[in-house]
Chain A
């Protein structure tokens, strides 16, 4: 379910790191919690993002959810498909509905994130409460 090549945050974002670039999205668990996603607000290319700080917003019919960056860096690409098709975040959160790509300025930050195994344990625990 949760790709092994991703790292995960406690706020239910994922990041896939290739060299000094990270691709960031929200997890399947996050999209399920939100329900039907209808609106996405993302930064622009060139904007700075900071680890553990909000960089965008995802809205479902019933709720607004802030998205937190797993890392610090500069936005190099934004998934513009999501403006027209926010529902992709429900159907394909781990691939086609990535949110932004970031040039990592502090690559070591990734080491503090959870592995897929740790993340799965984390959400199992959250769901059992």
Chain B
């Protein structure tokens, strides 16, 4: 899951990045409006964590720009305590949720999961897919109560395909969402296939996988 953190306070940003990286997110950090605007216009993020008070402008500009693109990025705004107007303004401009400083990292994590699953049409943190149950926050998959042992990357791939159910996800997209924005050209190597193959093998032990499609040489799709 790709996430952009827009925060000018270095210590806070690195703390958040640390926490989210440990929880399976690929994080990018923008220190100011300028960097943030460039990032959102160029890259696809699943979520945006936006501090409204930035040195070179207001975070509202970034929010407006994101929503103008009609992107379905999840946006959480971070405001200072007591700034009610900012929160209302932000939500009206299309933010999905808000946090007031100081906030607990676990709360941030929980809210992110909630927004992302809602965004993809799920109401519970436990996703049900053809008998498999994914616990988003615990990296656990089980089938009818029997746990399925997946590696972190296999889980990430499975989760991403489930969240984007009924869509073809290209290998490039998968690579970008799992490994982040790799600078290396033609990184679309077959190691993503290795992970998918292993994942399918593990899932196949429990039930038939005709809903887990390989779309030619392009990518994968999970049908619901």
Q: Do these two chains interact?
A: no
